[in-house]
């Protein structure tokens, strides 16, 4: 009998110790999804870009949300070298990327039954994108899905403004000074607008457009966006390469899981939005948050490659990346004042992975007094059960019940 009693006591204490240890390292915690930051979508224009590089060739996929009708949509994107292979991008790519890279939040509970808006908003007009004006050279024209485009070159920003005005692009005041920053360095220009028969919506997100250029620099042209910026602009960049990327001339931040807590009153169930906003205040608001980095082969060029996205990136670029394909997600919410510089993207000094999943401990509803007394009550039930078990008749059965109840209580702590 004493051996049996000792065994019961050892088993009960083992459950108690195991449950305490499991709670400390999270092994016994059950995740319950609270929400994701995708539930907070900026009401102002949103710029999304995928930038892929093998160190020699750059491929860019752009999509921008506009809060004006497509009949008025037209914009100019500066490119470090001549853009090539201009075509329509996959319609649902950015939605798919967001669904697997957006920060997700999980509440840990104990197991217990208790489009790049890069510049000049303009009128569509009827003028053809054809002949140059002065020093501006039209190197290529064409269409990409619902867009028509012209590739321009020229180092005279004034002549570029003249060409845009002549072709019914209403250039905003101050554009020439911004254009000059790129023209002096010999950048090319990709002028785009919706075709007249593209339809009409109150808010538009034209299908993505993609192009490549040959250069060792990976740059997101932010300064030109100041010409048509909203008070708050969400910038979401995905970099595909063989390593983690960050900003060379903007501050880089990450979100520490220890700074997050559950907040049922928020849209995503946490205080992530407030922590994110605080992180982006670095360097006068010139900061991007790295929300995810992983060596993940998301992109392929044929069925059967086991990639999430086929036929997006050029085959030659993917072949150069081989099995070393990685993706970095960078995000910022900024105002026009912060759009005073482009975003120079460079390999990060740290290649540590950044997870987009956060596991937050649940806030217990128990009062501190009850939480402290519960183990004592369970231990008291155990002692009472051991005492009653020595007797005959119904007290013995009640004793066994008390012991089982105490063990269950210890397991749930």
Q: pLDDT tens digit string along 81-109?
A: 999 999 998 888 999 999 999 999 988 76
The pLDDT assigned to 86 comes to: 95
The pLDDT assigned to 113 comes to: 43
End-to-end CA distance of the chain: 29
CA–CA distance, 60 with 296 (Å, rounded to integer): 19
The pLDDT assigned to 230 comes to: 80
Going from the C-alpha of 326 to that of each of 121, 214, 219, 407, the distances in angstroms are: 34, 20, 18, 48
Per the structure block, which two tokens stand in for 360?
């937050």
The pLDDT assigned to 100 comes to: 93
The pLDDT assigned to 298 comes to: 93
pTM for the whole thing? Answer: 0.75
CA–CA distance, 96 with 311 (Å, rounded to integer): 14
The pLDDT assigned to 133 comes to: 42
CA–CA distance, 371 with 377 (Å, rounded to integer): 10
The pLDDT assigned to 140 comes to: 95
The pLDDT assigned to 407 comes to: 72
Going from the C-alpha of 398 to that of each of 6, 329, 375, 406, the distances in angstroms are: 19, 60, 20, 12
Positions in the chain whose pLDDT score sits under 70: 1-44, 65-74, 109-134, 169-170, 196-206, 303-305, 362-379, 381-382, 384-386, 388-389, 392-394, 396-399, 402, 406, 408-413
Do 211 and 190 meet the contact criterion of CB atoms below 8 Å apart? yes
Per the structure block, which two tokens stand in for 173?
């005041």
The pLDDT assigned to 116 comes to: 47
Residue 295: closest CA among 317, 328, 320: 328
């Amino acid at each position: 009998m004493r051996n049996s009693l000792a065994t019961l006591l050892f088993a009960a204490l083992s459950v108690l110790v195991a449950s305490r240890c499991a709670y400390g390292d999270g092994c016994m915690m059950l995740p319950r999804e609270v929400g994701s930051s995708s539930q907070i979508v900026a009401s102002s224009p949103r710029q999304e870009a995928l930038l892929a590089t093998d160190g020699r060739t750059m491929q860019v996929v752009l999509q921008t949300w506009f809060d004006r009708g497509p009949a008025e949509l037209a914009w100019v994107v500066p490119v470090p070298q001549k853009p090539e292979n201009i075509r329509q991008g996959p319609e649902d790519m950015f939605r798919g990327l967001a669904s697997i890279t957006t920060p997700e939040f999980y509440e840990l509970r104990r197991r217990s039954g208790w489009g790049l808006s890069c510049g000049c908003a303009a009128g569509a007009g009827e003028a053809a994108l054809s002949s140059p004006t002065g020093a501006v050279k039209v190197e290529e024209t064409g269409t990409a899905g619902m867009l028509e485009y012209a590739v321009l070159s020229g180092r005279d920003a004034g002549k570029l403004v003249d060409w845009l005005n002549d072709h019914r692009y209403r250039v905003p005041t101050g554009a020439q000074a911004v254009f000059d920053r790129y023209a002096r360095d010999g950048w090319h220009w990709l002028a785009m607008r919706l075709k007249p028969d593209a339809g009409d919506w109150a808010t538009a997100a034209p299908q993505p457009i993609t192009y490549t250029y040959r250069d060792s620099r990976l740059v997101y042209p932010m300064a030109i966006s100041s010409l048509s910026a909203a008070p708050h602009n969400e910038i979401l960049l995905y970099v595909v390469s063989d390593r983690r990327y960050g900003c060379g001339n903007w501050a880089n931040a990450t979100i520490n899981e220890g700074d997050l807590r559950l907040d049922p009153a928020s849209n995503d169930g946490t205080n992530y939005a407030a922590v994110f906003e605080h992180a982006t205040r670095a360097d006068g608001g010139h900061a991007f948050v790295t929300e995810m980095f992983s060596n993940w082969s998301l992109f392929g060029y044929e069925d059967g490659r086991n990639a999430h996205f086929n036929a997006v990136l050029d085959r030659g670029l993917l072949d150069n990346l081989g099995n070393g394909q990685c993706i970095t997600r960078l995000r910022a919410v900024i105002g026009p004042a912060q759009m005073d510089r482009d975003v120079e993207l460079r390999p990060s000094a740290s290649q540590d992975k950044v997870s987009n999943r956060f596991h937050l401990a649940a806030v217990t509803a128990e009062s501190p007094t009850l939480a402290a007394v519960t183990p004592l009550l369970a231990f008291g039930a155990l002692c009472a059960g051991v005492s009653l078990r020595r007797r005959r008749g119904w007290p013995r059965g009640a004793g066994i019940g008390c012991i089982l109840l105490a063990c269950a209580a210890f397991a749930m702590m």
